[in-house]
Structure 1
Amino acid sequence: MIGAIRSELRKVFSTRLWWGMGLGMALVAALIAMGFAALLGNANMDNGDNGGQGNPFAKLTVGTAQLIYNAGIVQQMSLLFPLALGVMLITGEYRHKTISATFLSTPNRWVVMISKMIAVAITGALYAVVHAAASIAGAVPIIKFVKHQPTLLGEPKVWESLGIGILVFAIWMLIGFGVGMLIRNQIAAVLIAVGFAFIIQTALSIIFTVKHWYSAMKWIPGQLTSNMLITSDPTAGQSVDPAAQAQYFDHWWQAGLVLVLYAAVLAISGAFLTTRRDVT
């Protein structure tokens, strides 16, 4: 098993795909974090409340810091990178016909599948570290030198949120990997995965908000991700619609378990079909 995992990691890191997408993700993360940091102290973002009482960016709280440093993930733009890479890591094997050699070198297909999942999760964790570093690098100069507010990087809750991001990236990359195993055509798999993450989730969020189906919103993968990362309420002490709280689980790990379940269903289903399919 160790040799199989090492082999799968070598497949990932011996190509330019992983660091090319990683650089793109880092740039996106830094820009989005800079944009969110620039909102600090903006009195015009008061959601219609007098004095900016509904504005979580009025000053930097722990919850707002978590939101800024994880802005790319909360906005789901950064998640497209591990999702797409997870898809391409398995569909690329079918596209380039290397899956046959993989199964010949390791005849037990379940060993291959488990090794690939572990390698994918490790790659996702690495992406999370890069994302956190890029977000901090983009946001801190604006927070400290432009907005003249404390960065709150000494707060344990902020680092807890960044640590949870490692789990988030690993899960989303496994979700992409599961989609890639179910849909072996690379272009179709990428379009479907990204289309769901970027378009369908947004559409569902809008529909559920308009219909006030807040309890249904918390089951959307993107909402679950935000629920995991924002471990402190960025609107603490402000007026918040109690009904809107139904879109969140009480604890981040509860949202994490649901997201893990989504990834497990996709990955295990895809692995099961892969062990039964013929390859050429």
Structure 2
Amino acid sequence: MGRLLVAEFRKTLTTKLWWALMIPAVLLALGFAAGWGAFANSVGDVLDGDESQAIANGLGIQIGELPMGLLAIGHGINIGLTFPVIFGVFALAGEYSKKTITTTFLTAPNRVSVLGAKMITYVVWGAIYGIVLAAVSSLGIAMTVDSSRLPTSGQWLGVVGASVLAGILATLFGIGVGAVWNSVVGSVVTLAIYLLVIENVLILLFYGLWDVPWLGGVLPNGTMNGIVGAIGAQAFGAAGVEVPAGVSDETLWVLQYVAGAPGAFSWWASALIFFLWTMVFFGAGWAANQRRDIT
């Protein structure tokens, strides 16, 4: 297993893919976190007004204690998570497309050990992506959010931990999808369209037309986003905690949406559900590659 792990790390480090995907992930995470940070900070300025303070006090909400930066940091991390998903697709589908999978399987004791080594290798890479995305997203909100509205040290550590977990699961999810599809182009195009467009449209349509607020809390992209985003929503009483009296369901959903986690139940529930999605695709890909012919 040790030699297989060394081989897998060499496969990733000797190609341009890891940094070619890291660069846009960093730029988008920084841009989204900074942009949403500026928006959240502006909302904070409005909420600091006397009239808003009076309304909030009537609802039992202490506005001065709300870390507006938490509403923005999730957006930066979540947009960046698309790239570890794509990175994971190349783990198996990339080898099939380049015909290197034959050498990999024939020089290893068995296919189970190969897939195990890939899983461990990409868990490490997923954690790296998670740490980097948390760091640049933190920089983004630090640039645009007032210091008094930034997350506390405990909240920030929670975001970093959630980002690492989300990065790991996102990468494994990509491995599973690529292994099932067995096509880099097909997997990447389908995932990009689904993660960035289709699921978001479905969530908005189901909420707007049929009043279904929980759909984002069970679909793959929504649960992946909810791992980090729900931390921000929870800080505002919109997920995973007792809802303040007088706060409507519509307000809760809007807060969840602004935090990047519409429909999320809590960060740990999102992590559990996305883990189940990951295992479904990873298990299906594992089974498919035990029977798939190599040439």
What TM-score bracket applies, with the shorter chain setting the length? 0.7 to 0.9
User: Could you say which residue in structure 1 is the equivalent of 2:272?
Assistant: 257
CA distance, structure 1, for counterparts of residue 77 and residue 134 of structure 2: 10
Task: Assess if the C-alpha contact under 8 Å between 1:91 and 1:186 holds in 2.
Answer: yes
More helix as a share of residues:
2
Q: Verify: 1:248 aligned to 2:253, yes or no.
A: no
> Any idea what SS the aligned residue of 1:178 has?
helix
> Any idea what SS the aligned residue of 1:240 has?
coil
Shift of the 200–15 alpha-carbon distance from structure 1 to 2, 3 Å rule, reads same
Which of 85, 91, 108 is the aligned partner of 1:83?
85
Q: Verify: 1:186 aligned to 2:181, yes or no.
A: no
User: Could you say which residue in structure 2 is the equivalent of 1:273?
Assistant: 288
Aligned partner letter, 1:248: A
Residue-by-residue CA offset, 1:115-140 (whole Å, 9 max, x unaligned): 11121111111011111111122221
- CA-based RMSD of the aligned residues comes to 2.7
TM-score, normalised by the number of residues in structure 2: 0.81
Shift of the 60–130 alpha-carbon distance from structure 1 to 2, 3 Å rule, reads farther
Which of 189, 197, 218 is the aligned partner of 2:195?
197
After superposing the two structures, state which structure 1 stretch, 119-128 or 198-207, moved more.
198-207
TM-score, normalised by the number of residues in structure 1: 0.85
Shift of the 153–207 alpha-carbon distance from structure 1 to 2, 3 Å rule, reads closer
| Structure 1 position 150, deviation (Å) | 2.5
User: Could you say which residue in structure 1 is the equivalent of 2:12?
Assistant: 12
> Any idea what SS the aligned residue of 1:231 has?
helix
Shift of the 36–206 alpha-carbon distance from structure 1 to 2, 3 Å rule, reads same
User: Could you say which residue in structure 1 is the equivalent of 2:42?
Assistant: 41
Task: Assess if the C-alpha contact under 8 Å between 1:33 and 1:139 holds in 2.
Answer: yes
- List, as ranges, runs of 4+ consecutive aligned residues in structure 1 with deviation greater than 4 Å: 43-46, 243-246
| Structure 1 position 27, deviation (Å) | 0.8
Q: Verify: 1:177 aligned to 2:175, yes or no.
A: yes
User: Could you say which residue in structure 2 is the equivalent of 1:159?
Assistant: 157
Shift of the 190–60 alpha-carbon distance from structure 1 to 2, 3 Å rule, reads farther
Aligned partner letter, 1:266: F
Residue-by-residue CA offset, 1:28-54 (whole Å, 9 max, x unaligned): 1111111012120347988xxx74969
After superposing the two structures, state which structure 1 stretch, 85-94 or 267-276, moved more.
85-94
Which of 38, 41, 66 is the aligned partner of 1:61?
66
Shift of the 183–226 alpha-carbon distance from structure 1 to 2, 3 Å rule, reads closer
Aligned partner letter, 1:235: F
CA distance, structure 2, for counterparts of residue 34 and residue 8 of structure 1: 35
Task: Assess if the C-alpha contact under 8 Å between 1:86 and 1:175 holds in 2.
Answer: yes
Aligned residues: 267
User: Could you say which residue in structure 2 is the equivalent of 1:94?
Assistant: 96
Aligned partner letter, 2:9: L
Task: Assess if the C-alpha contact under 8 Å between 1:88 and 1:190 holds in 2.
Answer: no
Give the gaps of 5 or more residues in structure 2.
Answer: 238-243, 254-261
Aligned partner letter, 1:219: V
- Once the two structures are superposed, the pairs formed by residues 20-35 of structure 1 within 5 Å of their partners are 20-35=20-35
Task: Assess if the C-alpha contact under 8 Å between 1:231 and 1:252 holds in 2.
Answer: yes
After superposing the two structures, state which structure 1 stretch, 269-278 or 130-139, moved more.
130-139
Shift of the 261–108 alpha-carbon distance from structure 1 to 2, 3 Å rule, reads same
Which of 206, 209, 213 is the aligned partner of 1:208?
206
Q: Verify: 1:224 aligned to 2:223, yes or no.
A: yes
User: Could you say which residue in structure 1 is the equivalent of 2:124?
Assistant: 122
| Structure 1 position 238, deviation (Å) | 8.9
Task: Assess if the C-alpha contact under 8 Å between 1:217 and 1:247 holds in 2.
Answer: yes
Task: Assess if the C-alpha contact under 8 Å between 2:5 and 2:118 holds in 1.
Answer: yes
Task: Assess if the C-alpha contact under 8 Å between 2:203 and 2:215 holds in 1.
Answer: no
After superposing the two structures, state which structure 1 stretch, 220-229 or 254-263, moved more.
220-229
CA distance, structure 1, for counterparts of residue 263 and residue 11 of structure 2: 40
| Structure 1 position 154, deviation (Å) | 4.2
